[in-house]
Amino acid sequence: MVTSTHTGATRPAAAEPSAPGAMWRPLDRSARVFVAGGRGLVGSAVWRELLREGFTDVVGPGSAELDLRERGAVFDWFAETRPDVVVLAAARVGGIKANATRPAEFLSENLRIQVNVLDAALEQGVERLLFLGSSCIYPKFADQPIREEALLTGPLEPTNDAYAIAKIAGVLQVQAVRRQHGLPWISAMPTNLYGPGDNFHPEHSHVLPSLIRRFHEARRTGARSVVNWGSGTPRREFLHVDDLARACVHLLERYDGDEPVNVGTGTDLSIRELAELVAEVIGYRGRVEWNADQPDGTPRKLLDISRITALGWAPRISLREGVGDVYTWYADRLGSGDVRQ
């Protein structure tokens, strides 16, 4: 059993926000922190934030070194490395087309990754663990903004139900470990994410990087129009991964509750408005068209973030600023091939 990694001086209670599950237990900056998925969009942002916060022992082998789908390899790695804290950000992810056409892979691979890491962490007695889920765990027609209590109260969006079920299983496993073993493991549910290191593949990417690639190519080639999937009417919320990374460290030190915690911005916009914003940032001035024969997905997905804001966290990066930064990152790396596409 590893020793606790979040002991230390306690702040006066009055200095901390009042919220269910609120606490103040600073993590030891010398603790070994395993970021599962540390080379991905989310994991790399969490890694950067941990270093910025002064953590000195952050580990996270790439998939070539440790395949998290291989149970024996995961258990051996945990036994040898013995991390004190785990942030489970590893997952197989993709946009609406990838989820809809390859549901078996999204379900199987994510279940294996999660169960292997969580079981190995339990065997080694890892006391502090954060599981990162997704806002797609909530019912398709949940009341907006979506509260954490909406989980398991209605049917899921069919285009990504397999991925959602895997993530729901992760939330329930964390809750089961809390009940059975008393460990202060927690879960967070981020909204739609974007940032440097995103996947810009024309078929497998999420909506925002897909739009960035599409409008960039249209501007470069002088295309008179850009055709996007769906009607453009669904509304979505977008959070920069650097804001999520701050939320992860914030929750590890300030939250110890059974319920998952939503992480978002509290504001949304239509996909049509998002496309117009991306086109403006990139400088594309042609026509923006829509193919309504393609699926829209959930009509609206806005998270209620009152639980995490009560803990003292708030997003800092505006969508316009974030899109501009990501486009600069994308354009700067196209020539070098350092972009997932």
Binding residues: 37-43, 132-135, 167, 190-193, 206, 214, 229, 236, 296
Distance CA 93, CA 327 (A): 21
Residues at the annotated binding site for substrate? 214, 229, 236, 296
163 is catalytic: yes
DSSP state, residue 303: B
Q: Are 254 and 312 in contact (CB under 8 A)?
A: yes
Residues at the annotated binding site for NADP(+)? 37-43, 132-135, 167, 190-193, 206
What 3-state class would DSSP assign to 130?
strand
DSSP state, residue 340: B
Say which residues have a Cβ less than 8 Å from residue 256's Cβ, sequence separation at least 6. 21, 23, 25, 184, 186
CA terminus-to-terminus distance, the chain = 42
The residue from 138, 163, 255, 284 that is catalytic is 163
What 3-state class would DSSP assign to 217?
helix
Structure tokens of 93? 């992810």
Reported as type and span, the H/E element at residue 32 is: strand 32-36
Which residues are identified as catalytic? 163
